[in-house]
Structure 1
Protein backbone atom coordinates (compact mmCIF):
# COMPACT_ATOMS: atom_id res chain seq x y z
CA UNK A 1 0.00 0.00 0.00
CA UNK A 2 1.44 3.37 -1.00
CA UNK A 3 1.41 6.04 1.66
CA UNK A 4 0.18 8.68 -0.80
CA UNK A 5 -2.99 6.62 -1.30
CA UNK A 6 -3.52 5.85 2.37
CA UNK A 7 -5.33 8.60 4.26
CA UNK A 8 -4.06 7.64 7.70
CA UNK A 9 -5.67 10.56 9.56
CA UNK A 10 -9.02 10.03 7.89
CA UNK A 11 -8.92 6.32 8.63
CA UNK A 12 -8.08 6.86 12.30
CA UNK A 13 -10.80 9.52 12.58
CA UNK A 14 -13.37 7.16 11.04
CA UNK A 15 -12.36 4.33 13.41
CA UNK A 16 -12.55 6.68 16.39
CA UNK A 17 -15.97 8.01 15.39
CA UNK A 18 -17.44 4.53 14.95
CA UNK A 19 -15.92 3.17 18.15
CA UNK A 20 -17.05 6.19 20.17
CA UNK A 21 -20.58 5.92 18.73
CA UNK A 22 -20.76 2.22 19.67
CA UNK A 23 -19.36 2.86 23.14
CA UNK A 24 -21.73 5.77 23.78
CA UNK A 25 -24.62 3.53 22.70
CA UNK A 26 -23.53 0.91 25.24
CA UNK A 27 -23.09 3.51 28.00
CA UNK A 28 -26.63 4.84 27.59
CA UNK A 29 -27.91 2.19 29.99
CA UNK A 30 -25.93 3.97 32.75
CA UNK A 31 -26.79 7.48 31.45
CA UNK A 32 -23.13 8.14 30.63
CA UNK A 33 -21.09 9.36 27.68
CA UNK A 34 -17.63 8.08 26.80
CA UNK A 35 -16.09 11.36 28.03
CA UNK A 36 -17.83 11.04 31.37
CA UNK A 37 -16.79 7.42 31.67
CA UNK A 38 -13.17 8.31 30.86
CA UNK A 39 -13.13 10.66 33.87
CA UNK A 40 -14.62 7.92 36.05
CA UNK A 41 -11.94 5.48 34.88
CA UNK A 42 -9.23 8.08 35.53
CA UNK A 43 -10.49 8.45 39.09
CA UNK A 44 -10.67 4.66 39.50
CA UNK A 45 -7.05 4.30 38.40
CA UNK A 46 -5.93 7.08 40.73
CA UNK A 47 -7.84 6.10 43.87
CA UNK A 48 -6.15 7.27 47.03
CA UNK A 49 -4.60 10.24 45.22
CA UNK A 50 -5.81 13.82 45.51
CA UNK A 51 -7.19 14.44 42.01
CA UNK A 52 -8.45 17.87 41.05
CA UNK A 53 -10.06 19.18 37.89
CA UNK A 54 -6.79 20.68 36.59
CA UNK A 55 -5.21 17.22 36.63
CA UNK A 56 -8.06 15.87 34.51
CA UNK A 57 -7.67 18.77 32.05
CA UNK A 58 -3.99 17.91 31.65
CA UNK A 59 -4.49 14.13 31.46
CA UNK A 60 -7.10 14.39 28.69
CA UNK A 61 -5.77 17.59 27.07
CA UNK A 62 -9.13 19.30 27.52
CA UNK A 63 -10.01 22.90 28.30
CA UNK A 64 -11.33 23.95 31.70
CA UNK A 65 -14.93 24.61 30.63
CA UNK A 66 -15.16 21.19 28.97
CA UNK A 67 -14.00 19.40 32.11
CA UNK A 68 -16.23 21.62 34.26
CA UNK A 69 -19.26 20.44 32.26
CA UNK A 70 -18.26 16.78 32.50
CA UNK A 71 -17.64 17.04 36.26
CA UNK A 72 -20.88 18.94 36.83
CA UNK A 73 -22.92 16.24 35.09
CA UNK A 74 -21.13 13.44 36.95
CA UNK A 75 -21.84 15.17 40.27
CA UNK A 76 -25.52 15.64 39.30
CA UNK A 77 -25.74 11.93 38.44
CA UNK A 78 -24.08 11.04 41.78
CA UNK A 79 -21.09 9.26 40.19
CA UNK A 80 -18.53 11.62 41.74
CA UNK A 81 -18.39 14.21 44.49
CA UNK A 82 -16.33 17.33 45.05
CA UNK A 83 -14.34 17.69 48.26
CA UNK A 84 -12.99 21.20 48.94
CA UNK A 85 -9.35 21.58 49.93
CA UNK A 86 -9.37 22.71 53.59
CA UNK A 87 -6.47 25.13 52.96
CA UNK A 88 -7.52 26.52 49.59
CA UNK A 89 -11.26 26.70 48.94
CA UNK A 90 -10.62 27.34 45.22
CA UNK A 91 -9.46 23.74 44.83
CA UNK A 92 -11.91 20.86 44.78
CA UNK A 93 -10.77 17.28 44.84
CA UNK A 94 -12.85 14.77 42.91
CA UNK A 95 -13.79 11.42 44.38
CA UNK A 96 -15.96 8.57 43.20
CA UNK A 97 -19.17 7.91 45.06
CA UNK A 98 -20.37 4.41 45.85
CA UNK A 99 -22.43 4.55 42.64
CA UNK A 100 -19.32 5.55 40.67
CA UNK A 101 -17.24 2.76 42.15
CA UNK A 102 -19.92 0.19 41.26
CA UNK A 103 -19.56 1.07 37.57
CA UNK A 104 -16.09 -0.40 37.18
CA UNK A 105 -17.00 -4.06 36.87
CA UNK A 106 -20.20 -3.40 34.91
CA UNK A 107 -18.71 -1.18 32.26
CA UNK A 108 -15.38 -2.99 32.02
CA UNK A 109 -17.30 -6.11 31.02
CA UNK A 110 -18.97 -4.08 28.27
CA UNK A 111 -15.63 -2.63 27.12
CA UNK A 112 -14.18 -6.14 26.88
CA UNK A 113 -17.18 -7.27 24.83
CA UNK A 114 -16.85 -4.34 22.42
CA UNK A 115 -13.09 -4.78 22.04
CA UNK A 116 -13.43 -8.52 21.44
CA UNK A 117 -16.05 -7.84 18.79
CA UNK A 118 -13.93 -5.11 17.18
CA UNK A 119 -10.76 -7.23 17.03
CA UNK A 120 -12.49 -10.45 15.99
CA UNK A 121 -10.54 -12.46 13.42
CA UNK A 122 -7.20 -10.72 14.01
CA UNK A 123 -4.44 -13.11 15.03
CA UNK A 124 -2.46 -12.54 18.24
CA UNK A 125 0.65 -11.86 16.13
CA UNK A 126 -1.15 -9.16 14.14
CA UNK A 127 -2.55 -7.66 17.36
CA UNK A 128 1.00 -7.46 18.76
CA UNK A 129 2.15 -5.77 15.56
CA UNK A 130 -0.81 -3.36 15.62
CA UNK A 131 -0.08 -2.43 19.23
CA UNK A 132 3.59 -1.87 18.43
CA UNK A 133 2.77 0.29 15.41
CA UNK A 134 0.23 2.36 17.32
CA UNK A 135 2.75 2.96 20.13
CA UNK A 136 5.32 4.09 17.55
CA UNK A 137 2.80 6.45 15.93
CA UNK A 138 1.83 7.88 19.31
CA UNK A 139 5.48 8.39 20.17
CA UNK A 140 6.09 10.08 16.81
CA UNK A 141 3.30 12.59 17.24
CA UNK A 142 3.85 13.36 20.93
CA UNK A 143 7.60 13.95 20.61
CA UNK A 144 7.47 16.76 18.08
Structure 2
Protein backbone atom coordinates (compact mmCIF):
# COMPACT_ATOMS: atom_id res chain seq x y z
CA UNK A 1 0.00 0.00 0.00
CA UNK A 2 2.90 2.38 0.69
CA UNK A 3 4.11 1.97 -2.89
CA UNK A 4 0.62 2.68 -4.28
CA UNK A 5 0.43 5.86 -2.19
CA UNK A 6 3.83 6.99 -3.48
CA UNK A 7 2.82 6.32 -7.09
CA UNK A 8 -0.36 8.38 -6.58
CA UNK A 9 1.64 11.25 -5.01
CA UNK A 10 4.16 11.24 -7.87
CA UNK A 11 1.32 11.32 -10.41
CA UNK A 12 -0.29 14.24 -8.58
CA UNK A 13 2.99 16.17 -8.49
CA UNK A 14 3.60 15.50 -12.19
CA UNK A 15 0.15 16.91 -12.86
CA UNK A 16 0.96 20.10 -10.95
CA UNK A 17 4.16 20.58 -12.96
CA UNK A 18 2.35 19.89 -16.24
CA UNK A 19 -0.35 22.46 -15.43
CA UNK A 20 2.28 25.05 -14.57
CA UNK A 21 4.11 24.40 -17.84
CA UNK A 22 1.00 24.87 -19.95
CA UNK A 23 0.69 28.62 -19.30
CA UNK A 24 3.04 30.06 -21.91
CA UNK A 25 2.09 27.41 -24.45
CA UNK A 26 -1.61 28.09 -23.91
CA UNK A 27 -1.03 31.78 -24.57
CA UNK A 28 0.78 30.94 -27.80
CA UNK A 29 -2.03 28.65 -28.92
CA UNK A 30 -4.66 31.26 -28.04
CA UNK A 31 -2.73 33.99 -29.85
CA UNK A 32 -2.54 31.74 -32.93
CA UNK A 33 -6.30 31.01 -32.68
CA UNK A 34 -5.68 27.26 -32.58
CA UNK A 35 -7.77 24.63 -30.87
CA UNK A 36 -6.17 21.99 -28.70
CA UNK A 37 -7.03 19.41 -31.38
CA UNK A 38 -5.22 21.47 -34.00
CA UNK A 39 -2.13 21.81 -31.82
CA UNK A 40 -2.10 18.10 -31.05
CA UNK A 41 -2.51 17.37 -34.77
CA UNK A 42 0.48 19.56 -35.60
CA UNK A 43 2.57 17.87 -32.90
CA UNK A 44 1.68 14.40 -34.22
CA UNK A 45 2.52 15.41 -37.79
CA UNK A 46 5.79 16.95 -36.58
CA UNK A 47 6.75 13.77 -34.74
CA UNK A 48 5.64 11.24 -37.36
CA UNK A 49 5.90 13.06 -40.68
CA UNK A 50 5.13 12.21 -43.29
CA UNK A 51 2.04 10.57 -41.86
CA UNK A 52 -1.42 9.63 -43.07
CA UNK A 53 -4.61 11.15 -41.69
CA UNK A 54 -5.50 7.78 -40.15
CA UNK A 55 -2.44 7.91 -37.89
CA UNK A 56 -3.23 11.47 -36.83
CA UNK A 57 -6.81 10.46 -36.01
CA UNK A 58 -5.66 7.50 -33.93
CA UNK A 59 -2.93 9.33 -32.01
CA UNK A 60 -4.96 12.50 -31.38
CA UNK A 61 -8.05 10.46 -30.47
CA UNK A 62 -10.37 11.79 -33.17
CA UNK A 63 -12.78 10.06 -35.51
CA UNK A 64 -11.28 10.05 -39.02
CA UNK A 65 -13.89 12.47 -40.39
CA UNK A 66 -13.22 14.91 -37.55
CA UNK A 67 -9.45 14.60 -38.07
CA UNK A 68 -9.95 15.37 -41.75
CA UNK A 69 -11.75 18.61 -40.84
CA UNK A 70 -9.06 19.63 -38.36
CA UNK A 71 -6.36 18.93 -40.95
CA UNK A 72 -8.25 20.83 -43.64
CA UNK A 73 -8.33 23.96 -41.47
CA UNK A 74 -4.57 23.66 -40.89
CA UNK A 75 -4.00 23.19 -44.64
CA UNK A 76 -6.06 26.33 -45.31
CA UNK A 77 -3.89 28.25 -42.84
CA UNK A 78 -0.77 27.05 -44.62
CA UNK A 79 0.59 25.11 -41.64
CA UNK A 80 0.16 21.58 -43.01
CA UNK A 81 0.68 20.33 -46.55
CA UNK A 82 -0.77 17.19 -48.12
CA UNK A 83 1.13 15.07 -50.62
CA UNK A 84 0.51 11.77 -52.35
CA UNK A 85 2.03 8.64 -50.87
CA UNK A 86 4.52 7.35 -53.48
CA UNK A 87 3.61 3.78 -52.50
CA UNK A 88 -0.19 4.24 -52.60
CA UNK A 89 -1.64 7.12 -54.59
CA UNK A 90 -4.94 6.87 -52.69
CA UNK A 91 -3.25 7.84 -49.42
CA UNK A 92 -2.42 11.45 -48.63
CA UNK A 93 0.58 12.08 -46.38
CA UNK A 94 0.85 15.10 -44.14
CA UNK A 95 3.85 17.33 -43.49
CA UNK A 96 4.24 20.60 -41.67
CA UNK A 97 5.02 23.59 -43.85
CA UNK A 98 7.90 25.89 -42.93
CA UNK A 99 5.41 28.13 -41.09
CA UNK A 100 3.96 25.13 -39.26
CA UNK A 101 7.44 23.91 -38.30
CA UNK A 102 8.29 27.36 -36.96
CA UNK A 103 5.18 27.46 -34.79
CA UNK A 104 5.78 23.96 -33.41
CA UNK A 105 9.42 24.84 -32.70
CA UNK A 106 8.25 27.92 -30.77
CA UNK A 107 5.83 25.83 -28.69
CA UNK A 108 8.52 23.24 -27.97
CA UNK A 109 11.01 25.96 -26.95
CA UNK A 110 8.41 27.44 -24.58
CA UNK A 111 7.93 24.04 -22.94
CA UNK A 112 11.68 23.54 -22.67
CA UNK A 113 12.11 26.95 -21.02
CA UNK A 114 9.46 26.07 -18.44
CA UNK A 115 11.02 22.66 -17.73
CA UNK A 116 14.45 24.26 -17.44
CA UNK A 117 13.12 26.70 -14.81
CA UNK A 118 11.99 23.73 -12.75
CA UNK A 119 15.23 21.82 -13.22
CA UNK A 120 17.32 24.82 -12.12
CA UNK A 121 15.74 24.43 -8.67
CA UNK A 122 17.54 21.10 -8.25
CA UNK A 123 21.11 20.66 -7.09
CA UNK A 124 23.60 18.46 -8.98
CA UNK A 125 22.84 15.35 -6.90
CA UNK A 126 19.10 15.73 -7.43
CA UNK A 127 19.62 16.22 -11.17
CA UNK A 128 21.74 13.07 -11.32
CA UNK A 129 19.04 11.11 -9.45
CA UNK A 130 16.33 12.46 -11.75
CA UNK A 131 18.41 11.60 -14.82
CA UNK A 132 18.87 8.04 -13.56
CA UNK A 133 15.14 7.70 -12.90
CA UNK A 134 14.24 9.06 -16.33
CA UNK A 135 16.78 6.76 -18.00
CA UNK A 136 15.08 3.82 -16.27
CA UNK A 137 11.65 4.97 -17.45
CA UNK A 138 12.80 5.66 -21.01
CA UNK A 139 14.47 2.25 -21.20
CA UNK A 140 11.40 0.37 -19.92
CA UNK A 141 9.16 -1.38 -22.44
CA UNK A 142 6.03 0.69 -23.10
CA UNK A 143 3.65 -2.11 -22.20
CA UNK A 144 5.54 -3.16 -19.08
CA UNK A 145 3.30 -3.90 -16.12
CA UNK A 146 6.24 -5.15 -14.07
CA UNK A 147 6.47 -3.47 -10.67
CA UNK A 148 9.64 -3.52 -8.58
CA UNK A 149 9.35 -4.96 -5.11
Output the CA distance in 2 between the equivalents of 1:8 and 1:72.
41
| Contact 1:80-1:100 at 8 Å conserved across structures | yes
Map of 2:31 onto structure 1: 29
Choose from 28, 43, 51 the match for 2:45.
Answer: 43
Specify which structure has the higher proportion of strand: 2
Larger radius of gyration: 2
Give the match for residue 110 of structure 2.
110
Give 1:125 deviation, angstroms.
Answer: 0.8
Aligned position for 1:73: 73
Q: Corresponding residue for 2:55?
A: 55
Name the residue aligned to 1:142: 143
User: Which of structures 1 and 2 has the larger relative contact order (alpha carbons within 8 angstroms, sep 6+)?
Assistant: 2
Shift of 1:19: 4.9
Following superposition, the deviation at residue 2 of structure 1 comes to: 2.4
Deviation above 4 Å: which 4+ runs of structure 1? 84-88
**Paired residues for 1:10-21 under 5 Å:** 11=12, 14-15=15-16, 18-19=19-20, 21=22
Deviations 1:14-73 (A, max 9, x none): 3476157423234323333555334334433455x4x21123345x26243453354233
Structure 1 alignment gaps of length 5 or more? none
Q: What is the TM-score of this pair, normalised by structure 1?
A: 0.64
**Structure 2 spans left out of the alignment, 5+ residues:** none
Query: May I ask how many residue pairs the two structures share in their alignment?
Result: 138
What's the Cα RMSD here? 3.7
Q: CA deviation at 1:128?
A: 0.5
Instruction: Check whether the contact 1:20–1:34 (CA below 8 A) recurs between aligned residues.
Output: no
Q: Which secondary structure does the structure 2 equivalent of 1:121 belong to? A: coil
**Structure 1 residues 21, 45: CA separation in 2 closer, same or farther (over 3 Å shift)?**
closer
Are 1:132 and 2:131 an aligned pair? no
Taking the aligned partners of 1:31 and 1:21, their CA distance within structure 2 comes to: 16
